[in-house]
A and B are shown apart, each in its own frame.
Chain A
Amino acid sequence: MVNDTNQNSARQKVVERIFRIIATSCAALILMTIVGILIELFRGASLSIRTFGLSFLISQQWNPVIQMFGAGSSIFGTIVTTLIAMILAVPMSLILALFLTEIAPPIISRVVGYSLELLAAIPSIIYGMWGLFVFAPLMSKFVQPLLGKVFGFLPLFKGSCMGIGMLTAGLILALMILPFISAVMRDVFLMVPPVVKESAFGMGATTWEVTSKVTMRFGAHGLIGASFLGLGRAIGETMAVTFVIGNDHKISLSLFSPGNTIASTIANEFTEASEPLYKSSLIELGLILFLITLTIQILAHFWLKRIRKAVGNI
C-alpha cells in the first residue's frame, strides 16, 4: 500500500516535470521563432548582401533583366507612405482617444470604441479591395484634381490623377492604423490617475488644457509607445498597400505617382522571382523590413512598459 502511493507520487513527479518542460519549451519557441527569422533571412539574403553590399540600401536600380537590384525606391516609398499615415493618424488618434475618455458620454464612447475594434478587425486585403475599387476612383475624380488645383505649385501635388499611388496608399494606411493607435492611447489616458486630472479641472482648466498640459505630459511615454506601435504596423502593412500603390520602381516627388514599398515589392514579385539573386534581393528587403519593425516594436514596448511602471501597473 505504502509502496503503491510512493510509486504513484513518483509518477506524478514525472508527469509534473514533463508538463513543465512542455510549457517551458512552448515559451522558448517564441524566442526561437524570432531568432530563427533573423537567421533564415540573413541566410537567404547572403547572396544579395555579398553581391551588392551596402549600396543595395540606396541604389534605385531594380531590374530583373540585367539582375541589378537596389532597395532605394522601396525604402523611399515605405518612408513616404508611412509618413503620410503617421502625420494624419497620430493627431487624429490622440483626439479620438480624448473623445473616448473625456468628451463622449459613456454609451457613445462604447459604440465608437466598438466600431473602432471592428475597423481594426477587418483584414488588410479587404482594405485593399475597397481602396482599389472604391476609394482610388474617388481620389482620381475628386480629391487629386482638387489638391492639384489648390496646392499644384508644390511638386508634391503635381502629375496625373490616376487614383492609385503613394498618397492613396498613405491615406488607407492612416485609416488602418487609426484604431490601433487610438485604442492604446485610450488605455494610456485611462492610466493617468484621476486625482491629477481633477486637480487641474479644479483650477478651472478646460478639458483640452487638462489633456495637453497634464494628461499628455503624464502619459508621454505611453503616447510615444502607442505611436510606435502604429508606425510598426504601417511600415509592415502589405496587402492594402500592394493593391493601391501601383507597384512602380521609380522615385518621384509627386505623391500622386505610383511607387512601391518594401512589403508590396516582396508580395508582388516573390513568386515570380526565379533567379537566385532576384530571390535573395527580395529576402534582403524582408530582412531590412524585419530589422526595422523589430527595432520599432522593441522601442514601443519599452516606452509602454515605462508608463505602466510609472502608474504602478505591473
Chain B
Amino acid sequence: MKSRSRKSRVLLDDTIRILSCLIAITSIIALVWIIYEVAMRGITAINFSFFTHLPAPPGVKGGGLANAITGTLAITALATIIGIPIGLMAGVYLSELGKGTPFGSLVRFFTSVMMGIPSIIMGLFIYSIMVVTFGSFSGYAGAVSLAVIMLPIIARVTEDMLGLVPSSLREAALALGAPGWKVTLGILFRASKSGLLTGSLLAIARVSGETAPLLFTALNSPYWVKSLSSPTANLTVTIFNYAMSPYPEWQRQAWGASFLITMTVLALTILSRLIIKEVKR
C-alpha cells in the first residue's frame, strides 16, 4: 500500500466533505428555484376564470382551463379506480400467495423492471391496443395508460406493507378458522391501511403529472369534457401544447397549469410522507 502523508490524506478527505456539502446545497437550491419560478410565473395566470372558463383562442385575453382541469381529474380518478384494485391484488399475490414460488419471484422481478419502463412506451402500447382498436383517441385510453403506470407501484408498496404485518396476526386469524381471503381483506388490509393509503397517494402523485402517456391516448381538446370516449382535455398535454406555442397569453396559461400540477403533486407527496411518519410512530 502506498504511504501518503497524513496531511494529504486529510486534505483529500476535507475536499470531498466540502464537495458533498456543495452538491447537497445545489440540490436544495434547484428544488427551491424550480418551485419559486413555477409559483411566481404561475400565480399570475391563476384567477377565477382560470377555473371556470374554456380556453380562449390565441390573441384573445382571458379564458381558462376549466375543461382541462375536469379532464385531468376524470382521467386520474378513472386510472385510480382501475389501477388500485388490480395493483392491490397483485401485491396480495406477491406477499401472501406467491411468496417463495418461482412464479412469485418472476412477477416480483418484473414488477420492479416495469417501474423503470419509460412512460411514453406505455402510451404507445395503449395507443396500439385501444386507440387503434376503437378507432379514436379517448380519455378511457388515457386513464388505462396511467393505470398501467400505477400498477407496479401499488403492487410493490402493497407487498412491502403486507410484509410488515406480523405473521402471528395471520396465524391467529387462520387458527380461528377464517379463510385466506377474509384474513387478507379484513385483517391484513386493516392492519396496513395507512401504508396502503401512502402507496396509493404516491402512485396518484406520480401519474397526475404524467404527460407522455397521454399524448397519443387522451390527446387533448379545446372543448368541455362530455364523455371520455373522445379526445379529452387534460392539463399536462395542454402545458406541452401551450408552452410550444408562440402566444405569450397561452404560455402564461401553461405556467398556471404547471403551478396547479406542481402544487398537487408536491402536496400529495408530502401528505403521504406525513402518513407514513404517523405509521412508523
Contact = CB atoms under 8 A, between A and B. Distances in A.
Question: Which one of B23, B38, B94, B109 has the highest number of Cβ atoms from chain A below 10 Å of its Cβ?
Answer: B23
A253 interface: no
A92 B109 CA distance: 28
A243 B270 CA distance: 27
* Tier of interface size on chain B: 35 or more
Contacts of A58: none
A151 interface: no
A297 B116 contact: yes
A234 to B, nearest CB: 10
A116 B32 CA distance: 11
B243 A27 contact: no
A36 B90 contact: no
B266 A283 contact: no
Nearest to B22: A95
A19 B181 contact: yes
Contact of B30 (A24, A33, A175, A286): A175
Interface stretch (B55-63, B190-198, B222-230, B255-263): B255-263
Contacts of B113: 34, 294, 297-298, 301
Contacts, number: 257
Interface of A: 12-13, 15-16, 19-20, 22-24, 26-31, 33-34, 36-37, 40-41, 43-44, 92, 95-96, 98-100, 103-104, 108, 111-112, 114-119, 121-130, 132-134, 175, 178-179, 206-209, 229, 232-233, 235-239, 242-243, 263, 266-267, 270-271, 283, 286, 289-290, 293-294, 296-298, 300-301, 305
Interface of B: 9-10, 12-13, 16-17, 19-21, 23-24, 27-28, 30-31, 33-34, 37-38, 41, 86-87, 89-90, 92-94, 96-98, 103-104, 106-107, 109-114, 116-122, 124-125, 127-129, 148, 151-152, 155, 179-181, 184, 205-206, 208-212, 215-216, 219, 236, 239-240, 243-244, 251, 254-255, 258, 261-262, 265-266, 269-270, 273
25 contacts: A16-B180, A23-B90, A23-B92, A28-B107, A33-B114, A33-B151, A34-B113, A34-B117, A37-B117, A40-B129, A44-B124, A96-B24, A99-B20, A103-B20, A111-B28, A123-B208, A124-B209, A125-B236, A125-B258, A129-B255, A206-B12, A206-B13, A243-B244, A263-B118, A286-B120
